[in-house]
Amino acid sequence: MIEGAWKQAAEAWQKEWEQQAARWWDATLREPLTLEGMRKALEGVCAAKERSDQALEQLWALYRLPTATDVERLHERLGDLEDGLARLQATVEALAERLPAKAKAEPKA
Amino acid sequence: MKTLTRLKHVGQGLARAVELVDGATPHTVAWRSGPVTVRRYAPETRATDVPLVFVMPFINRFRVVDLEPGTSLVGRLVARGLEVFVVDWGAPRRIDAGIDFEDHVLRYLPRALAATGAAQVDMLGLCLGGTLSTIFAATHPERVRRLATLVAPVSFADMDLLGLWTDPRWFPVERLTAAFGNMPGPLVNQGFLWQKPMTQLTKLQKAWPRFDDPAFAEFFCLLESWTSDGVDVPGAAYRRLINDLYRGDRLAKGELVLRRGDRALKVDLGAIRCPVFVASATDDLICPPPAATALLDLVSTPAAQKTHVSVKGGHIAPLVGPKARASLQDPLADYLLS
């Protein structure tokens, strides 16, 4: 019986503690100071990535290997080419639809 | 002894998570291009001739809608006689960093629809997949017979913590996507986890006694393995999401513009006149209920053809958890078959 009461009290205490902590976290995560810290941390991560990419690109260039930027540029050009082909295909399909109708309207003499 | 039993159930759950990494329901690949895959789930007997195109969010793995046989959302829809085509955006590589909303809506979704072989489809979208489905339905109204969205944000006016954290003062989205190409999945995931840090801290402690039940342990492992297995988000689409939607709320304001070559296509949600089904979750922090239900006010659908279902709980578990069949999956199937 006493053990049950202790257990209940401990559970109630934990619940109360969790609620208090959740409220504290929620307020803290909205604080401009926290948000500024988040921005700085993200910019730090970006700076580290930029530096490591730069070092890798230099190494790649040393061995005359294409870098990620080179491949991305190539990919962009391929994308443009694909768009152009899709537009051409749409134009040809539209023309093909019109042609039989025109041929029927103007039978050969 | 209890500890060993619980550990055994967790071990079995983890093994199951590895086994079901490609989903629980048998399917074939209908179309694939780059990171995008359209998966076809065929029913034994078709209850309708109109296929269902189910669009996934581009920030998660698709398998959340097909976690395990007993609770699978896709599995349930197929069992009810629907032919389902799941649009899985896959895991983009750095070369896919240029994929943007235009690619999703004007390039990939029309091809996904072509893979169904039908002129008109029913469209269902989960979370940001629902946002994309809505944009597609607004720009191709003749192709969509019915639209259904599940916890899909349409109005980003009040996104609480996520809105604050994506503010231009604190969130350097341009620099992040320039540095990484794609937005790293683990970073995106941190944003969701930190919304409720105490829940994350105490989750395992609260789940521990419930691991006596092997079914609970399995579902817990499947859901957690999915949560921690986020995919990178294409840089261009992520910038658009943050700048146009989170910061500008342009979709709800009718100011979102899709561009393809010389074409500019304004997304007008008023162009949607088909029946619309919206599901929201009461305690959802990622898509608060007003963000999802805003769609019902913005479409031109007659009031009698608008359906809203509110489920109890957070963002995902109420849609794919053990109680989801009665609260969401069957009402959704009834709507799609009505």
Q: Are B136 and B123 in contact (CB under 8 A)?
A: yes
| Chain A closest-CA separation from residue B171 CA (Å) | 6
Range(s) of the domain holding residue B179: 2-337
Which residues does residue B62 pair with via DSSP β-bridges, in sequence order? none
Q: How many domains does chain B have?
A: 1
Angle (nearest 5°) at CA B162 between A48 and B272 = 120
Report the length, in residues, of chain A: 109
**Residues in chain B closer than 8 A to A49 (CB atoms):** 179-180
For residues B311 and B281, give the distance between their C-alpha atoms in angstroms, rounded to a whole number: 5
Of all residues in chain A, the percent with pLDDT exceeding 90 is 36
Burial of B80 (0-12, 13-18, 19+ CB in 10 A): middle
pLDDT of A7 = 85
Q: Which pLDDT belongs to residue A101?
A: 67
DSSP alpha helices (H): ranges in chain B?
Answer: 2-19, 73-79, 101-102, 109-116, 128-139, 160-165, 173-180, 185-193, 197-207, 214-227, 235-240, 250-253, 289-298, 317-320, 324, 330-337
The pair phi, psi for residue B119, each rounded to 5°, is: -75, -30
- Which tens digit of pLDDT belongs to each residue from B11-61? 999 999 998 988 999 999 999 988 999 999 999 999 999 999 999 999 999
Task: Specify the CATH number for the domain of residue B331.
Answer: 3.40.50.1820
Residue A103 has pLDDT above 70, yes or no: no
Task: Find the closest chain A residue to B106 by CA distance.
Answer: A83
| pLDDT of A108 higher than 80 | no
Would you call B179 and A53 a contact, using CB atoms and an 8 Å cutoff? yes
The span from the CA of B63 to the CA of A27, in Å, is 34
pLDDT at B283: 94
Residue B251 forms contact with A (CB below 8 Å):
no
CB contact under 8 A, A35 and B170: yes
Q: What is the mean pLDDT of residues A51-65?
A: 90
Chain-centroid distance, C-alpha B264: 26
Across the A:B interface, residue pairs with CB atoms under 8 Å apart total 61
Say how many residues make up chain B: 338
Res B85: pLDDT = 98
pLDDT at site A106? 65
Q: What was the pLDDT predicted at B331?
A: 95
Q: In this complex, do A72 and B164 lie within 8 Å of one another by their Cβ atoms? A: no
Is B98's CB within 8 Å of A87's CB? no
Contacts of residue B201, Cβ cutoff 8 Å, sequence gap at least 6 = none
Confidence at residue B322, expressed as pLDDT on a 0 to 100 scale: 84
Token pair in block for residue B207: 């789940």
Nearest CB neighbour to A22, from listed B170, B179, B198: B198
The confidence score (pLDDT) of residue A1 equals 65
**Residue B275 vs residues B110, B149, B291, B307, B326: alpha-carbon distances, Å:** 20, 11, 19, 8, 22
Mean pLDDT of the A39-49 span: 96
Q: What ipTM score was computed for the predicted complex, to two decimals?
A: 0.82
**Section A89-100 average pLDDT:** 83
**pLDDT reported for residue B159:** 94
Q: Tell me, what's the pLDDT at A102?
A: 65
Mutual angle of helices B2-19 and B214-227, in 10-degree steps: 50
Type of residue numbered A30: R
Enumerate residue ranges in chain B where pLDDT < 70.
none
Give A97→chain B minimum CA distance, Å: 18
Query: Under a CB-based contact definition with an 8 Å cutoff, are residues B136 and B268 in contact?
Result: no
CA of B156 vs chain A CAs: smallest distance (Å) = 18
